[in-house]
Structure 1
Amino acid sequence: MTPREKRSRGRLAGRDSATRARRETVAALREEYGAALADGPQAFFEPLRHSCPWCGSVRIGGHLLTGDLIQHKPGRFRVERCHSCGHLFQNPRLNARGLDFYYRDFYDGLGEQQLDAMFAGRTRSYRRRAASVRPHLVRPGLGGVKRWLDVGTGHGHFCEAARTLLPEVVFDGLDRSEGVEVAERRGRVERGLRGGLTELAGELAGAYDAVSLFHYLEHCTDPLRELEAARTSLRPGGLLVVEVPDPESRYAHLLGRWWLPWLQPQHLHLLPVGNLRGALSDQGFTVLAEQHRTAHEPVDLVAAVWLALEGAVPRDDMPWLVPTGPARRALRGAALLAGVPALAAAALLDHAVAPFADRLGLCNAYRLVARRD
């Protein structure tokens, strides 16, 4: 047997072993998920709200009704819009039990390897974030940023990439998942803090020159409290960097439920930029920069096509889904193969449009850089 044949056989054996291990894990989890769903998805929600959680107005109305388009866990989720301030929010909102259920096996467990690989492949985006903040890092009379806390850091990939542009900065990471402990072990962050920002803000008071909330606020039950906690963690004159999906993007209307940043049921709040600017001002921040083009990721069209294909024939090797057998898997493979031309065309169009996304109102995210006064 040639060395090449040995390597090929070794790769096949490795894939077979991983497949068997996944099947065993899924089989073991089926009973647990069955028990969690015994009362039905309705047990995962708080009571329905009748006013806007941002401004208190009762002028709210239905905007979007969708399911879980990523994991295909059971349940229907409604996003409502406030007709007074434009805030969008999940209503009824997931309760603690629901958050645990829908986050489980997404960023860790069954989904950990896939998500880690996806985030690891976004180095250019992370470097772009760091570069966009760099002009604001030197504070007149106060020196430069020395210590930075990345909240919702996951496995610390942003910190690892940003350090190549900002070698003088020490990065710490904070997250509720065990990924932050992985980040510390792998040297991506100096310290990995496990928990929530609002719970840890007291012991972190005044400890940081910069705090980043990259695609974090939309996951939080109370974004205003998170901003308060971020302010507490900053030294006077420190920088806060917030990046969130832009619900005012035209893609949100053009693509409807297939617009990836809706990300139900995880995204509890979607904040128009005017609302977030106002909240930062109210909490004692001065906004130094508002960035749309550099926060945009050219994935809207290709993600919409992928979500539609996934929705047509979802994978069945998930412990919350009924196994359907080899015929269904063959159908899924054929559907995905048939969708390759559409995926390729959508990806090309995403990148062709990206340079003009800001002018066309298509940016799917925005970033604010603010200074604590």
Structure 2
Amino acid sequence: MITNENATRACPVCNSEGYTAERISRDPWRVARCEDCSFVYLQNPPALEQLMAEFSWDKTVETESVRRKAEQPVLQWFDRKTRWRLHMFERPESRKFLEKAIGSGNVLDLGCGDGRHAMALSEAYTPFGVEIAPVLAEAADKAFAGRGGHCVSADSLSGIGTFEDGFFDGAILNSYLEHDTRPLEVLEALQPKMKPGAPVIVKVPNYGSWNAAVMGRGWCGVRLPDHVNYFTWDSLADMGGRAGYSVQGVPSANLPTNDNMWAIMQA
């Protein structure tokens, strides 16, 4: 297995190289907290080609499941046996937040996978996507074509660049920013592609949650090495502001008991 374990990535927010080690690190992966802006990030992420292949999402999900069952057998058994608890209340969804913000229009799903999330939007929305995995991008493109949209098979910065300025009425970044080594650059590139005031719905794991504080490296949001960024509300709002957005939270969803959180960023 080839890694970038000897490489050191500067803070992707402020480019500072000063850091303190974060307790969720696991050899050979080094997680750091920036000494200047407090952002938490993986210093030595795999190369992009590895993230697409050896450390792709579908593979790391299975790897993490096996590891957690071995390290936390009782907790993982309890979690499997009580999945019903997740359906006791209506769950927050990026799609619903977007539909509440706008009634129709061109919508970008960044890191859209096979397109199923964007296709869950009503037919009032025209879905577009950017997806780096060719097989998934092809599936999304076929699905989106039936609604007048398309999917670009490319990395996010390249894919975003193919669209005209002011093209999108809304965008969804659903569990995406934690995977990209250039999150601030992606948000900056997306900003001019949005119509004035258009909402960008961002969902990321909540590193400021109580569960994250208690579980440490055993927290469900720690996925090494494909989760390369770890957001608290403050760091997510700071990044959005630096990229030129006004940023609002979702108070009903952004609770310390929730392992995920949402931001509504407006261009």
Shorter-chain TM-score bucket reads 0.7 to 0.9
C-alpha distance in 2 between matches for 1:212 and 1:285: 14
More helix by share: 1
Decide whether aligned partners of structure 1 residues 267 and 292 sit closer, same or farther in structure 2, where only a CA change above 3 A counts: farther
- 1:180 aligned partner, one-letter code: A
| Structure 1 partner of 2:151 | 192
Decide whether aligned partners of structure 1 residues 58 and 274 sit closer, same or farther in structure 2, where only a CA change above 3 A counts: same
Within the candidate set 181, 195, 210, 1:221 is matched to 181
C-alpha distance in 2 between matches for 1:224 and 1:135: 26
| Structure 1 partner of 2:31 | 79
- 1:107 aligned partner, one-letter code: D
- 2:155 aligned partner, one-letter code: G
Decide whether aligned partners of structure 1 residues 77 and 221 sit closer, same or farther in structure 2, where only a CA change above 3 A counts: same
CA-to-aligned-CA distance 1:197-249 (integer Å, 9 cap, x gap):
21123320222111111111111111111001211321223221111111111
CA-to-aligned-CA distance 1:256-287 (integer Å, 9 cap, x gap):
22212111110111122222223323333222
2:215 matches 1:255:
yes
C-alpha distance in 2 between matches for 1:183 and 1:244: 22
- 2:19 aligned partner, one-letter code: I
CA contact (8 A) 1:59 1:82 kept: yes
| Structure 1 partner of 2:70 | none
| Structure 1 partner of 2:124 | 168
Within the candidate set 102, 107, 114, 2:58 is matched to 107
- 2:244 aligned partner, one-letter code: G
C-alpha distance in 2 between matches for 1:155 and 1:82: 34
| Structure 2 partner of 1:93 | 45
2:226 matches 1:266:
yes
Q: TM-score, normalized by length of structure 2?
A: 0.76
| Structure 2 partner of 1:332 | none
Listed as ranges, the gaps of 5+ residues in structure 2 are: 63-85
Within the candidate set 88, 91, 94, 1:129 is matched to 94
C-alpha distance in 2 between matches for 1:45 and 1:95: 11
C-alpha distance in 1 between matches for 2:90 and 2:154: 25
The DSSP-based 3-state class of the residue aligned with 1:77 is coil
Decide whether aligned partners of structure 1 residues 367 and 158 sit closer, same or farther in structure 2, where only a CA change above 3 A counts: same
CA contact (8 A) 1:230 1:240 kept: no
Percentage of pairs with the same residue: 21
* RMSD value, Cα: 3.0
Listed as ranges, the gaps of 5+ residues in structure 1 are: 1-36, 68-74, 112-121, 138-143, 296-357
- For residue 292 of structure 1, report the CA deviation from its aligned partner: 5.6
The DSSP-based 3-state class of the residue aligned with 1:294 is coil
4+ residue segments displaced more than 6 Å: 124-127
CA contact (8 A) 1:280 1:286 kept: yes
Q: Which has the larger radius of gyration?
A: 1
C-alpha distance in 2 between matches for 1:219 and 1:44: 16
C-alpha distance in 2 between matches for 1:85 and 1:277: 12
C-alpha distance in 1 between matches for 2:177 and 2:20: 22
CA-to-aligned-CA distance 1:311-370 (integer Å, 9 cap, x gap):
xxxxxxxxxxxxxxxxxxxxxxxxxxxxxxxxxxxxxxxxxxxxxxx2xx2221211112
| Structure 2 partner of 1:230 | 190
C-alpha distance in 2 between matches for 1:195 and 1:57: 28
CA contact (8 A) 1:126 1:161 kept: no
- For residue 100 of structure 1, report the CA deviation from its aligned partner: 4.1
The DSSP-based 3-state class of the residue aligned with 1:260 is coil
| Structure 2 partner of 1:179 | 136
- 1:181 aligned partner, one-letter code: E
- For residue 101 of structure 1, report the CA deviation from its aligned partner: 4.6
Decide whether aligned partners of structure 1 residues 213 and 125 sit closer, same or farther in structure 2, where only a CA change above 3 A counts: farther
CA-to-aligned-CA distance 1:1-44 (integer Å, 9 cap, x gap):
xxxxxxxxxxxxxxxxxxxxxxxxxxxxxxxxxxxx3xxx4x44
- 1:48 aligned partner, one-letter code: T
2:236 matches 1:284:
no
C-alpha distance in 1 between matches for 2:41 and 2:35: 12
C-alpha distance in 2 between matches for 1:371 and 1:179: 28
CA-to-aligned-CA distance 1:91-111 (integer Å, 9 cap, x gap):
22323354345334x438x97
C-alpha distance in 2 between matches for 1:126 and 1:249: 17
Q: TM-score, normalized by length of structure 1?
A: 0.56
